[in-house]
Chains A and B, each alone.
Chain A
Amino acid sequence: MVSWRKEKMKPTNQHTKLEHLGQAIGLDTEEVARAKRSARNIIVMAIVAGAFITFGNILMPGGPAGQYYSGVSIKDFGHLFSGWL
């Protein structure tokens, strides 16, 4: 079982490991670097999560989680906030 507490671990290089994982699927260094989340992603995600908790079911057929189960539609990408995530 993984412990969720802060563990003492060997110093690691996140970027090197991500690069290694990216190479396995054909991503170059730049693409891997770009894939990491940014401060903007974190802030927007917090806002979007709040908006969905408040009125998410109104936004689309199937509710905010419907697309996972029924197959996403191109129309789902046009809904509120989706372009920012």
Chain B
Amino acid sequence: MHKPWTPLSVVWETTLHCNMHCMHCGSSAGTKRTNELSTQEGLHLCNDLADMGTRLVALMGGEPFLREDWDTLARHIKDRGMEVTILSNGYLIDDALVRKLRPLEPYAVTISIDGGTHETHDAIRGTTESFQHCLDSLEYLTNAGIPTTVVTTVQHSNLRELPLLRDRLLGRGIAWQIQMAVPMGRFPRSEMLSPEEFYSVALFIASLKKTFSQQELPVMGAHNFGYCSQVLPNIMLYPWFGCQAGLTSLGVHSDGAVNGCMSLPAAFTEGNIRSRPLKELWQDPTAFSYNRGEFKDAVSGSCVGCRKSKRCRGGCLTVSYALTGAYHGDPYCLRRLEQQLHLNEK
């Protein structure tokens, strides 16, 4: 009998409609899908998640604030006893929107900022004045006492602006999550970090974590910044125990398609909540086989033979699949890079 997995953390792409055109968008967001879940279907989804034991629902897009019923959905999530986080590009956040947000007591409102200057951020986001909107949204949110996070997706063209962004965030009580752009959707492989650049960013995060207290600068590397380094301390917030797609995490697309993680491509879709109840999809013994079934321990590439592979299970599945076409063999692994770059030798 298999372990009864619970989708503790769910990311729901409420719409693919977006008012930006980001270079690194893995969903190629922009135009709304023709068959997105209605408000009633969305409320039903929230009920199912609450019944299945979900604790946190993250509303993302596209741009989630472009959905007129965003507050209805967020309120229902809270009313069903779950936490709600909203991932936004910040463009629409103003005083009026914050007045609607505040009573919802979100677990976090997360704003994407991808550069330390207007020029870089706006170029990556494909929208003029978006940087200024982001800075303004941080002001609105923090002034209202809403837990605020900045997510920075690092690529070749914004790598060197991380120190500028650090200076903007320091001492403001804003959490900072740094993640790597992966060649999916619109993102060109040519803009991806090189292994050396990737290690430089890891070094940067480690340095920040050692230099500043968590009150001064609460910073962490996301799920594609690790793992098991022999030189650096843990740069994520907590220890890495392997990809959680289909184990404790779940992604729901705006048309009702379900997969273990929103970052995973369509090949990993398990079904659609319009044609099969979510609980049935989740509990299907053949579902999420890459993490639950026959492939769960099958590390690939250079992870084969690594003594950390049982716990790490090959790092981020999305990075592994996007770069190698195989499961559980993320080549952007700190431990591996330290071997390649001979950094683990004194």
A interface with B by C-beta (< 8 Å): 1-5, 9-12, 14, 17-18, 21-22, 24-27, 31-32, 34-38, 41, 45, 48-49, 52-53, 56-57, 61-78, 81-83, 85
**B3 contacts chain A at the CB level, 8 A cutoff:** no
**B85 contacts chain A at the CB level, 8 A cutoff:** yes
**23 residue pairs A–B, Cβ–Cβ below 8 Å:** A2-B340, A5-B305, A9-B342, A10-B342, A14-B342, A17-B343, A21-B199, A24-B196, A24-B200, A31-B207, A35-B204, A35-B206, A48-B238, A49-B239, A62-B9, A62-B248, A63-B244, A65-B9, A69-B223, A73-B147, A74-B173, A77-B237, A83-B214
Interface contact tally, CB-CB below 8 A: 209
New A-B pairs, 9, CB < 8 Å, besides A71-B108, A73-B85, A73-B147 = A17-B343, A21-B341, A24-B200, A52-B239, A67-B220, A75-B108, A76-B175, A77-B237, A85-B237
Chain B residues with CB under 8 A of A61 = 8-9, 55-56, 82-83, 107
**B182 contacts chain A at the CB level, 8 A cutoff:** no
Chain A residues with CB under 8 A of B56 = 61-62, 66, 70
Instruction: Tell me the B301-346 residues at the A interface (CB within 8 Å).
Output: 301-302, 304-307, 336, 339-346
Instruction: Tell me the B225-240 residues at the A interface (CB within 8 Å).
Output: 229, 231-234, 236-240
State in angstroms the CA–CA spacing of A74 and B148 once bound together: 7
Contact present for A73 and B108 (CB under 8 Å): yes
Number of interface residues of B (CB under 8 A): 74
Contact present for B203 and A22 (CB under 8 Å): yes
Contact present for B147 and A64 (CB under 8 Å): no
Contact present for B107 and A69 (CB under 8 Å): no
B interface with A by C-beta (< 8 Å): 8-11, 55-56, 58, 82-83, 85, 87, 107-108, 110, 147-149, 151, 159-160, 162-163, 173-175, 177, 196-197, 199-201, 203-204, 206-207, 209-211, 214, 218, 220, 222-223, 229, 231-234, 236-241, 244, 248-249, 261-262, 301-302, 304-307, 336, 339-346
State in angstroms the CA–CA spacing of A82 and B148 once bound together: 18
**Known: A4-B307, A65-B249. Contact between A74 and B160, CB under 8 A?**
no
Contact present for A74 and B149 (CB under 8 Å): yes
Chain A residues with CB under 8 A of B159 = 24-25
State in angstroms the CA–CA spacing of A85 and B226 once bound together: 14
State in angstroms the CA–CA spacing of A32 and B87 once bound together: 32
Contact present for A2 and B336 (CB under 8 Å): yes
6 tightest CB-CB pairs across the interface, nearest first?
A66-B9, A62-B9, A73-B108, A68-B223, A70-B58, A71-B110
